[in-house]
Structure 1
Amino acid sequence: MKAYLFSGQGSQFLGMGKDLYKNSHLAKKLFQLSDEVLGFRITSIMFEGSMDILKNTKYTQLSIYIYSVIKARISNSFEPDMVAGHSLGELSALAAINVFSFEDGLKLVNERASIMQNICELNPGGMAVVFGLKDSIIEDVCNKDHGIIVPSNYNSPEQLVISGEIQALRRVCSYLKKIGAKKIFFLPVHGAFHSPIMKPAQKKFKKILNKIYFKDSKYPIYQNVTALPVNKSDDIKKNLVEQLTAPVKWKQSIKNMMDHGAVSFTEIGPSNILQGLIKKILRNSV
């Protein structure tokens, strides 16, 4: 069985999509549609913009969504048995398998990114990747800190991302280094994504989701919140809301896909970040 995986934030690059625009009539049509729906030239930011502009949460998320869905739509070999998306990638995956339209997905991503960006400005936070410690140890250290700090991305057996208030993040990272973390690096973001700090976003995002027409999914999507296959539209929407504050259970999702018959994993997105994680997960599962 074939699994398709959709990239999340961090996979963007300058000039992304320009080759697709030049070489595919359908891609060109969808890029132009993106500009029309959004009311500004996102294509200019993707094709010719600066990295400083592209790394803005709003433009990053829109660019990755547009690129990923277009790549799936123009592919002659996109025939999934199951799909998953890393954080933002869930929305790309859902559009690619026609749970909602490309245009509605644009609106969702645009609103989601704006809401998240606003929270980041009002309540700045941070994220850090921790290598070389067991999940249980990192979880315990986070639980014992008096600030807001939680595991946010279970990416692979070798790395776990933590997310929270800046001071709490620094305290926890300092302590994790002392007790044996092989490496820790801070992500270039100004928000504590997938943490309780994002809770104010849930109510607003739920209202937006309820205005969009969702179909039940033809293919099971392994959502971040549960790491389990979902097909029903109501369940999909509920999980999208919860995902804003819940950790991304990525390694758990991949293992479950393998248990349910996946023998190949194809990444769809601007880069191959997920492929590196998959190799580590597969190696650990042998």
Structure 2
Amino acid sequence: MKAYVFPGQGAQFTGMGKDLYDNYPEAKELFHKANDILGFEISKIMFEGTADELKETKVTQPAIFIHSVVLAKMMGADFAPDMVAGHSLGELSALTAAGALSFEDGLRIVSKRALAMQEACEAQESTMAAIIGMADEDVEKVCEEVDGVVVAANYNCTGQLVISGEVPAVEKACEILKEKGARRALILPVGGAFHSPLMEPAREELAKAIEETEFKIPTCPIYQNVSTFAVEGIVDIKTNLIFQLTAPVKWTQSVQNMIKDGATEFIEVGPGKALQGLIKKIDREAQVSQGSVA
């Protein structure tokens, strides 16, 4: 069984999607449509922008979504998932590629999500940190004991967990985790505390956008970050999408459940190869590859 997976923030690079734009008229049309929907030339930033320009949340999230979904569409019959999943933002790419959302509606939600997250970041100084080489439960325990807001945010793979929260609380947790034997506790260069309670204002904004949008039943089950299990019902999909902003991304558990349910091959659709690396760390036997146009 084939599982198609879609990357999240951090996968962007200058030149992303240019090959699709140059070689496929339908792709070019979708890029132009995206520029109109967003009200600025995101294609120009994707193709020629600096790393700093691409790193802005309001640019990064739509850029990765556009690249991922356009690639899935250009794959045609080669895009034949038995199941899909996406890492954080990638969940919206996965849902759109699997027919639950139109390209236009998916992009509008992604844009609103990005702007709401950026506003939440600006409202309170916050950050995230990658903890390497420690058991998940040990990291969770330290987070619970530290004063202030700090929580487990991204269960990326075995031995790699990202924590998120207020700057002093994250820094204190890193200090304690290093003392307790973490191989690395590294503050990440991000705009704020994604997937933590500090994203509550963004969650409320996103909820409005999702409730106003028409969703269809996807062509295959999606393994969502919040639930980690196969989901197909529209009500559950919407609920999980809304709570994703303040809940952890349970990527490790989602991949494990896809394998339990029969996934034998994981195809990453979108910029970069980050998810392939994480999947191989979760299960060395898993077959991984990059989605491409034949």
TM-score, with normalisation over the residues of structure 2? Answer: 0.95
Deviation at 1:147, TM superposition (A): 0.8
Deviation at 1:284, TM superposition (A): 8.8
Does structure 2 conserve the Cα–Cα contact (< 8 Å) formed by 1:151 and 1:163?
Answer: yes
In structure 2, the residue matched to 1:71 is: 71
Q: How does 1:7-22 map to 2 (within 5 A)?
A: 7-22=7-22
In structure 1, the residue matched to 2:290 is: none
Cα distance in 1 between the residues matched to 2:136 and 2:105: 37
Residue-by-residue CA offset, 1:133-155 (whole Å, 9 max, x unaligned) = 11111000000011100000111
In structure 2, the residue matched to 1:43 is: 43
In structure 1, the residue matched to 2:120 is: 119
Residue-by-residue CA offset, 1:210-244 (whole Å, 9 max, x unaligned) = 11110112210000001011101111010011100
Residue-by-residue CA offset, 1:49-68 (whole Å, 9 max, x unaligned) = 11111100010001000000
In structure 2, the residue matched to 1:215 is: 216
The CA RMSD over aligned residues, in Å, is 1.1
Q: How does 1:143-158 map to 2 (within 5 A)?
A: 143-158=144-159
Deviation at 1:204, TM superposition (A): 1.6
TM-score, with normalisation over the residues of structure 1? Answer: 0.98
In structure 2, the residue matched to 1:177 is: 178
**Which has the larger displacement, 29-38 or 88-97?**
29-38
In structure 2, the residue matched to 1:89 is: 90
Does structure 1 conserve the Cα–Cα contact (< 8 Å) formed by 2:136 and 2:159?
Answer: no
Does structure 2 conserve the Cα–Cα contact (< 8 Å) formed by 1:150 and 1:162?
Answer: yes
In structure 1, the residue matched to 2:274 is: 273
Cα distance in 2 between the residues matched to 1:200 and 1:218: 32
Matched residue type, 1:233: I
Does structure 2 conserve the Cα–Cα contact (< 8 Å) formed by 1:45 and 1:53?
Answer: yes
Does structure 2 conserve the Cα–Cα contact (< 8 Å) formed by 1:14 and 1:46?
Answer: yes
Cα distance in 2 between the residues matched to 1:165 and 1:68: 32
Matched residue type, 1:245: T
Deviation at 1:283, TM superposition (A): 2.8
Cα distance in 2 between the residues matched to 1:133 and 1:108: 35
In structure 1, the residue matched to 2:4 is: 4
Cα distance in 1 between the residues matched to 2:156 and 2:226: 13
Secondary structure class of the residue paired with 1:184: strand
Matched residue type, 2:225: N
Cα distance in 2 between the residues matched to 1:7 and 1:226: 18
